[in-house]
Structure 1
Amino acid sequence: MKRTVTTKPMPNAPRGTKHPPARAPLERIEHERDAWLGQVHPSAHFHTLFDHLPGVCFYCKDEQGRFMLVSRSFLQHHQMRHESELIGLTDFDVVPHPMAAGYVRDDARLLSGKSRCIERVELWYDKQGTPDWVFVSKLPLKDHTGRICGTAGVVRPAAEHEMQLPMLQSVARAVEIIRREFAGPIVLAEVARKCGLSMRHFQRRFQQAFGFSPQEFLMRTRVAAAMKLLEETNRSAAEIATRCGFVDGSSFAEQFRERVGLSPTGYRESVH
């Protein structure tokens, strides 16, 4: 007995047809799409979807580098509760100067049209001051005339397969050692040896992977740990300097001010 198969018509397709109806010309569809997007209220724009993606941070900046749209997770990462605390600020207002300078260099490439997309694995510092691996994607934003008018970015935890890249594997061991032992007298030549690299190749690969040297990563890690202690404890600056691996109080104050823009005492006062 011959078996019959009954098929249901596609949604919105006229009965009796096997193929979807022909689409309108692309130019007309694009015009209708743009008109439809113009009707969407700004407070309901699609960036709010990022609030429902755990671990993913999203932001948009204008040509001046000022934050215009941010996800809730981005605010939480910077220990802020409402976008009114961040809107209109630049990277230099929210992260240490060396980090901000790197972000601004990326923005300049995107705004000039020299790059259509920037994607890389970076080290971000979490709310506990601990560096962690993240994957960053940045794009230029264009207005209705096609002119570049800002930048947008997404930051998310790096997937396991992304951490298998040869360049990252060569320095991942070093990152773990520094994260674990930053408070002690770390000898970077010994760290390089544990990674199976000469000091020269270690320096080069670290620079290629992150855009800064292993010495700078060690110092940023120490400063981030010091910031956390200044925020959460009443320990003296001298005690914090010792706990975070600085040789003395004056070195601590110098390195801290260079990366944060404030003295340790000034930073404590600004967050309390």
Structure 2
Amino acid sequence: MSQSLEYVPAAVLEALLDQVPETMYFIKDTRLRYVSVNEALLRRSGKRHKAEVLGHTAAELFPPPLSDNYTAQDALVISTGTGINGQLEMYLLPGGVPGWCLTYKLAVRGPDGAVTGLCGISRDLPVPDERGAVYMQLIRALEVLHEDYGQPLRISRLASLAGLSENQFARAVQRIFGLTPKQLLIKVRLSAASELLLHSALSVSQIAVQCGYIDHSAFTRQFRRVANITPVRFRALAHARRASACGVAPLLRSSG
């Protein structure tokens, strides 16, 4: 590699990623303070200027319990040096509408190999081209997925409905949705669950069963892993967000 490319200043990377509105980018030090962010993170934190974010932690910028989860996730990366690769996460838009993203975090190491911070991105899922040939090939499998998400579903069955092998089906789903088939099933189930949490009076236990989970506990664990909050707390925050939709409230982003 050319010596000039061995080290790219964070400011250069930040300026480049300022041009990517669908992807949040950040670098944090070992005290979990932001040292570099792009415009997407700035907008989604509800701030106007980077100076309002830089030098601060997620706990100072985001409300609990979301900030608690950000801190725990980042602390794990710092303490173990182990990154996060494509974790499916859900967040709330103004009006209580769920949004979806994939989060990646890596430990940053100094010349001696010691962890000196972390960097990450959180990328919004692509909007699928429903008129494309690949999408049309999957249409029957996707119909069954959206109709029967509350039932036990095997990827082999969905692949068969599309006339594909499991590997071919996985590649097609990744190409269209940016997800693995398992992640797509989780997204469909939790999207349905979030709608029921928002628009029905069903209990969490009833929603769990209706969305394909064996019990309240299994559903809550999966929901918290993806949304970083419990279903009960999500319902409360979503209703609060809908009530204040006309105001200028910061987005509750699921990764920071």
TM interval, shorter chain, is: 0.5 to 0.7
In the alignment, which of 227, 240, 243 is matched to residue 223 of structure 1? 240
Normalising by structure 2, report the TM-score.
Answer: 0.65
Following the alignment from structure 2 to structure 1, what is the Cα–Cα distance between the partners of residues 193 and 208?
10
Of residues 48, 52, 60, the one that matches 1:85 is 52
2:120 match: secondary structure: strand
1:213 aligns with 2:180: no
- 1:204 positional shift: 4.3
2:80 match: secondary structure:
coil
Which position in structure 1 is the counterpart of 2:206? 190
AA in 2 matched with 1:220: L
DSSP-derived class of the 1:198 partner = coil
Residues 171, 206 of structure 1: 8 Å contact kept: no
Matched residue, 1:241: none
- For the structure 1 residues 129 and 68, does the alpha-carbon distance in structure 2 shift closer, same or farther, using more than 3 Å as the test? farther
CA distance in 1, matches of 2:208, 2:98: 19
Partner of 1:173: 189
Unaligned regions of 5+ residues in structure 2, if any? 127-175
Q: Deviations over 1:60-99 (max 9, x none)?
A: 1111111111101111112222211211111112111111
Q: Which runs of 5+ in 1 are unaligned?
A: 1-28, 233-258, 260-272
Separation in structure 2 between the aligned mates of residue 226 and residue 108 of structure 1, nearest angstrom: 34
Aligned to 1:116: 83
**RMSD of the alignment, in Å?**
3.1
Instruction: Measure the CA separation in 2 of the matches of 1:48 and 1:170.
Output: 34
TM-score normalised by length of structure 1: 0.61
Residue in 1 aligned with 2:73?
106
**Residues 174 and 191 of structure 1 are in contact (CA less than 8 Å); yes or no, is this contact kept in structure 2?**
no
Per-residue CA deviation, residues 131-185 of structure 1 (Å, 9 max, x unaligned), is: 2111110111123333211111101112453455436524633433534662653
Distance 1:207 1:177 in 2: 12
The aligned amino acid for 1:134 is C
Distance 1:171 1:133, change over 3 A: closer
Give the % identical residues: 20
Distance change in 2, residues 1:178/1:95 (3 Å): same
Higher-RCO chain (CA-CA 8 Å, sequence separation at least 6):
2
> Which structure has the greater CA radius of gyration?
1
Residue 46 of structure 1, CA deviation:
1.6
